[in-house]
Amino acid sequence: MAREGIPFVGGAVFLSLACWLASDWIAPLTYATAAFGVLTAFVVFFFRDPERTPPPVPGAILSAGDGKVVSIERLDADDEYLEGPGIRVSVFLSVFNVHVNRIPMAGKVDFVDWRTGRFRVAFAREASKENQQSIIGISNGSSRLIVKQIVGIVARRIACYLSAGDEVSLGQRFGLIRFGSRVDLILPDGVDIRVGVGDRVRGGETVIGVCSPHV
């Protein structure tokens, strides 16, 4: 289970036990005990953190989160970090998806920025620019990319464990967004995209694209 879930599980378990112990004196608390039991099960389910094995694909860029690909869009404007145009692949995470985020490409963290913003629905096109988010730049000598953790209407808490200068490995856990969110990958122009809109992906396992050595 993701460490961010421990306080939530602990609180739900405490309330369940308290209601159960008090139900001998206050009968309606029996129903509250059942309700908090269901809540505990959901919290454990939401904060699950399964092991993932990156595929042995040379140059693979993996999904940073579980969910559904909602947009693949070419960005014609030059990006200062990518040093040219890019391709944005957006993955929407519902409350039923695993919310632990994983490193899409091994390398070095060049920067981690935090941007305040709005709380639009995470799958909206405008969310990538307008919503509250963390922005992470990763490079490995031959390529570079940007990862965005974006909040939605329900998700309003981002956990990011990274700092500039960190060395990261493919599929490594790097953060979590609570209760429905979106993860964007902004890739260099020329990356061979291997997914389509509507595809279901798994963080740390699904190949989003393959980067040739010269990209």
Q: What is the reported pLDDT for 189?
A: 87
- Do residues 64 and 206 touch, judged by C-beta distance below 8 A? no
> Per CATH, which fold does 60-210 belong to?
Glucose Permease (Domain IIA) (2.70.70)
Per-10-residue mean pLDDT for the chain, 215 residues long? Answer: 57 61 61 64 68 91 95 81 88 86 96 86 73 92 91 76 95 84 91 95 96 64
Domain boundaries, the chain: 3-46, 60-210
Q: What is the reported pLDDT for 61?
A: 96
Enzyme catalytic residues: 181
Q: What is the reported pLDDT for 19?
A: 60
Type and span of the H or E element at 133 = strand 133-139
Sheet harboring 181-188: ordered strands across? 167-168, 107-115, 133-139, 144-151, 181-188, 84-93, 67-79, 200-201
Distance (Å, whole) CA 17 – CA 192: 53
Q: What is the reported pLDDT for 214?
A: 55
